[in-house]
Structure 1
């Protein structure tokens, strides 16, 4: 049986082989090409403060995609100051696992991602103790989210079951805090 190889398919397979070998190029592959990779990991977010949305493949196999991480760093910037931090890519894997465990393909609604130290100090002094002095938000290891269509308790329980870091439950504020710090709950 003879297979016909098209130039676009050949180029895609060549790039995919480079990814599999660990040589991540300055990847600007079309989303359709990335979406067809079996080992892709993708996430979708809606920022409740900026009203921005992002839906992207952030990793393939054991390789994080630098352009996607840059996009996520900007998307999850401090919405008070506009300062962009560097988010822990393992946080994205944890969110991907949570969403998979819940059987959801929905977008996370983001209440808070990165927080610069000045914003954190201001919030701590004005929110009556609800903000940690050494918050993992300041080092890009924490995010506060909800997942529409998923009960907040189910989101919390899925995050807890993974034992991937800290999980805070805020039913009155309608979000779950998820971080890649030490395993703990509150």
Structure 2
């Protein structure tokens, strides 16, 4: 006897993929995005922005297909908290964070120290921030994020990020965060 759940899952997966492919999902209300979490291949992340106090839990992709509405919400949440400027975050960064959370075996939200950074903010921080801000920071391209995870030692977060070989990993023990980016593989 066949399991009636599998055909339903296949239908939901195909319907979700069709909605993504046709661009209909960006028009869907937020509860529709929450329903995506039940689909096979749903990739979800949660964030707490420590500077704005905002929180977001969202399904950012189904398999290899990104959810445009979720990406817009993530861009807003990870905006430059100094200027309010919203940039376009690299969707591959969210894939890297998803794999990082899986490697650590946690569902805790990422605590965001810094996401997108405007060129003006980056220049100001380079001159007043006491170092550690690159002239051509990947934060300005939406390819970098500075994070920590509640309950996960900072060194463990760094080691897990390094093991993924998904880009750059910076360890800022004194400042209590780990930098992760989708640039070339390197560590500092």
Same fold (TM over 0.5): yes
**Residue aligned with 2:86, SS:** coil
Deviations 1:30-86 (A, max 9, x none): 244212112000000000000000001000011000000000000000000000000
Structure 1's 3 and 79: CA in aligned 2 closer, same or farther, altered over 3 A?
same
Q: Pick from 16, 23, 27: which aligns with 2:13?
A: 16
TM-score by length of 2: 0.89
Deviations 1:120-173 (A, max 9, x none): 000000022221000000000000000000000000000000000000000100
2:185 corresponding residue in structure 1:
183
2:128 corresponding residue in structure 1:
126
- Superposed displacement of residue 92, structure 1: 0.3
Cα distance in 1 for residues equivalent to 2:3 and 2:108: 37
2:83 corresponding residue in structure 1:
81
**Greater helix proportion:** 2
Q: How does 1:33-52 map to 2 (within 5 A)?
A: 33-52=35-54
Cα distance in 2 for residues equivalent to 1:180 and 1:4: 41
Q: How does 1:144-163 map to 2 (within 5 A)?
A: 144-163=146-165
Would the aligned equivalents of 1:144 and 1:176 in 2 still touch at CA under 8 Å? yes
Structure 1's 61 and 48: CA in aligned 2 closer, same or farther, altered over 3 A?
same
Structure 1's 3 and 102: CA in aligned 2 closer, same or farther, altered over 3 A?
closer
Q: How many residues align?
A: 182
Segments of 5+ residues of structure 2 without an aligned counterpart are none
Segments of 5+ residues of structure 1 without an aligned counterpart are none
CA RMSD of aligned residues (A): 2.3
Structure 1's 59 and 2: CA in aligned 2 closer, same or farther, altered over 3 A?
closer
Cα distance in 2 for residues equivalent to 1:13 and 1:177: 38
Cα distance in 2 for residues equivalent to 1:13 and 1:24: 18
Q: Pick from 161, 169, 172: which aligns with 2:174?
A: 172
1:63 paired with 2:65, answer yes
Structure 1's 56 and 32: CA in aligned 2 closer, same or farther, altered over 3 A?
closer
Range with greater deviation from structure 2 (20-29 or 130-139): 20-29
